[in-house]
Structure 1
Amino acid sequence: MLKLDNINLYYGVIHALKDISLEVNQGEIVTLIGANGAGKTSTLRAISGLQPIKSGTITFKNSSLNKIPAHKIVSLGLSHVPEGRRVFAALTVRENLELGAYLRKDKAEIKKDMEMVFSKFPRLKEREKQQSGTLSGGEQQMLAIGRALMNRPEMLILDEPSMGLAPLVVKDIFETIVEINKTGTTILLVEQNANMALTIANRAYVLETGTIVQSGDANDLLNDDSIKKAYLGE
């Protein structure tokens, strides 16, 4: 479904991604794990067109994304939930969700999807008319995921959904990610909490300083001694 071949990405003279190749098959949860600065967020930004690549190819559903601007990539069925949530703080919960569906014209279906988001995240329903900037971190994360779902994506890419959240909230968010995947949405997940990410993923890639150093079945990596030592705090 998604394929990266030998991606190189620079920030000025800094070589942030070095010949990155990975793929995500339809229906999978794939996670990228690694330390801060390993290139995880850069990989997601390259995929969604937010950061131009120097070389390599990115294909989604067999179409090249290389020269497609970010706003058009969304219309292909790829939604990106950025690091730090990035909700529109001055707008209400409902207005944020409506913006997630800005490319769509099917009003009756948009209404159904709004109800679907509220059923997944009841707390958002309770705060429907509240300004998003007044929500807790966990509620803002729910809103960011809900807003992305309003595009009816075939693939959802999530950047650090657990960052700064209480453990109980993290558990809820991850349960919802699994639910979303079970309804047919493919997921690419970047997550600092490697233990949690590997628990729900099918496969994983390990990044170090812009290079993929290991990949495989998530369960195998969860039980790999070198991974445990480096990323799982054991």
Structure 2
Amino acid sequence: MLKLDNVNLYYGVIHALKDISLEVSQGEIVTLIGANGAGKTSILRSISGLEQIKSGAITFKDSQINKISANKIVSLGLSHVPEGRRVFPDLTVRENLELGAYLRKDKGIIKSDMEMVFSKFPRLKEREKQRSGTLSGGEQQMLAIGRALMNRPAMLILDEPSMGLAPLVVKEIFNTIVQINKSGTTILLVEQNANMALAIANRAYVLETGKVVQSGDAKILLDDESIKNAYLGD
């Protein structure tokens, strides 16, 4: 479904991504793990068109997307939940969700999709008329994911969904990510909590200073001593 082939990205003279190649197949959860500054967020931003790569190719559903605009990429069925959630604080929960569907033409189905989001995140239903800036961090994360789902994406990319959240909320968010995947949405996940990410993923890529240094079955990497020592705090 998604393929990066020898992708290079620069920020000025800084070579941020160095010949990155990776694949995500339909129906998978794939996670990217690595220290801060390893290039994880840069990969996601390159995929969704927020950063322009210097060389290489990014293909989504057999279409090369690295030369088209971010809004066109969204219309192809790829939704990005950014680091820091980025909800619209002065708009209500419902208005944020409606914006998630702004490219859709099937207006009659949007209402049922909003109810689907509310069923996954009942707290959003309770707060649907509340300004999003007044929500807790966990509720804002739920809203950011819900807003992305309103695009009916074939693939969801998530950047640090657990950041700054209490452990019980993190567990709830991760359970929902698994449910979303089981309902048919492919997921690419960047997550500092490598234990939880590897526990739910099918496969994983390990990044260091802009390079993929290891990849494979997530459960195998979860038991890999070098991965444990570097990322899992064991």
Count of residue pairs brought into register by the alignment: 234
C-alpha separation between the residues in 2 aligned to 1:222 and 1:53? Answer: 31
Q: Counterpart amino acid of 1:191?
A: E
> Which secondary structure state, in structure 1, belongs to the residue aligned with residue 79 of structure 2?
strand
Cα offset, 1:133, TM superposition? 0.2
Does 2:45 match 1:31? no
Structure 2 counterpart of 1:98: 98
Structure 2 counterpart of 1:200: 200
Q: Counterpart amino acid of 1:176?
A: T
- Offset from partner CA, 1:159-205 (integer Å, 9 cap, x none): 00000000000000000000000000000000000000000000000
Structure 2 counterpart of 1:223: 223
Structure 1 counterpart of 2:66: 66
Instruction: Summarize the alignment of residues 56-135 of structure 1 with structure 2, pairs less than 5 Å apart.
Output: 56-135=56-135
Cα offset, 1:86, TM superposition? 0.2
C-alpha separation between the residues in 2 aligned to 1:38 and 1:107? Answer: 41
Q: Counterpart amino acid of 2:75?
A: S
- Normalising by the residue count of structure 2, what TM-score does the alignment of the two structures yield? 1.00
Q: Counterpart amino acid of 1:155?
A: M
C-alpha separation between the residues in 2 aligned to 1:5 and 1:106? Answer: 34
Structure 1: gaps of 5 or more residues = none
Name the Cα RMSD after superposition: 0.4
- Normalising by the residue count of structure 1, what TM-score does the alignment of the two structures yield? 1.00
Structure 2: gaps of 5 or more residues = none
- Offset from partner CA, 1:46-104 (integer Å, 9 cap, x none): 00000000000000011100211001100000000000000000000000000000011
C-alpha separation between the residues in 2 aligned to 1:66 and 1:140? Answer: 29
Structure 2 counterpart of 1:7: 7
Structure 1 counterpart of 2:232: 232
> Which secondary structure state, in structure 2, belongs to the residue aligned with residue 31 of structure 1?
strand
Cα offset, 1:148, TM superposition? 0.1
> Which secondary structure state, in structure 2, belongs to the residue aligned with residue 111 of structure 1?
helix
> Which secondary structure state, in structure 1, belongs to the residue aligned with residue 42 of structure 2?
helix
- Offset from partner CA, 1:126-161 (integer Å, 9 cap, x none): 000000000000000000000000000000000000
Does 2:109 match 1:143? no
Q: Counterpart amino acid of 1:4?
A: L
Cα offset, 1:114, TM superposition? 0.2
> Which secondary structure state, in structure 2, belongs to the residue aligned with residue 129 of structure 1?
coil
C-alpha separation between the residues in 2 aligned to 1:129 and 1:11? Answer: 40
Moved over 4 A (4+): none
